[in-house]
Structure 1
Amino acid sequence: MAFIKNIEHEEIVRLADEISANTGQVVSKTLAQNSCVSITLFAFAKGEEIGTHDSAGDAMVTVIEGKGRFVVDGREYCLSAGETLVMPARKPHSVHAEDAFKMLLTVVFPRNDSET
């Protein structure tokens, strides 16, 4: 049973090549998801965004191609390929694509003691 899906196993891959977005799109590709962690690739077309929301877990974004703008609790961050930002749990945040860009999102959720 594979815990990581939608990506080749035992092969070298370039994450940026695994996803693309056409004009007017935000595309996501889930690689893993359970009650503890979620790992998702995103591709944003120029001008697209994900509006303000929050998460029960800490959300770590790594830009893998292009540049993205992130607003966390009112503070703006501009990230380029290879840069990472952690957006703390429960803080409102949004994602904006002034130009097309791609990112890897990893969310780590609080442990649910009933699962132990």
Structure 2
Amino acid sequence: MSNNTDRIDDLTTRPVRLSELVNYQASTVVSREIIRKQTGTVTLFAFDQEQGLSEHTAPFDALVYIVDGEAEINIAGKKHSLKTGEMIIMPANKPHALKARQKFKMLLVMIKEK
């Protein structure tokens, strides 16, 4: 997975298009952290076709919003197909995995509990 290193300061106080903040790269997953605070993170991802994240768990609920394309998200053994403009919440401590049936971009919002 590669990371875009532009600073968050470059994004404040001006309108931006989420879909333009991260670019697809062949055979890989690209991520760009938009916000990182003690209370959580907001990260934008671009997955090339057939790329994904293997099954794992997270200690906090995570909201996934599909910015572009189509993703398959498996949560606790149940498959969900999401398209542009759709979102899903992945519950804390439930195993989940993501796969790009076609290339897609997603915004991941993770809020931590105190």
TM-score by length of 1: 0.88
Tell me which of 7, 14, 18 is aligned to 1:11.
14
Tell me which of 49, 53, 63 is aligned to 2:52.
49
Contact 1:49 1:95 in 2 (8 A): yes
Q: 1:25, CA displacement in angstroms?
A: 0.8
**Where does 1:29-108 land on structure 2 (aligned, <5 Å)?**
29-108=32-111
After TM superposition, the runs of 4+ consecutive aligned structure 1 residues lying more than 2 A away are none
CA RMSD of aligned residues (A): 1.4
Return the letter of the residue paired with 2:79: E
Greater CA deviation, 12-21 or 39-48?
A: 12-21
Q: Partners of 1:10 and 1:109 in 2: how far apart?
A: 25
Structure 1 residue ranges without an equivalent (≥5):
112-116
Structure 2 residue ranges without an equivalent (≥5):
1-6
Q: CA deviation digits over 1:80-107, x for unaligned, max 9? A: 1111100000000001001000000001
Aligned residues: 108
Determine which structure has the larger strand proportion and give its number: 2
Distance 1:20-1:108 versus aligned 2 partners, 3 A rule: same
TM-score by length of 2: 0.89
SS in 1 for 2:102: coil
Greater Rg by CA? 1
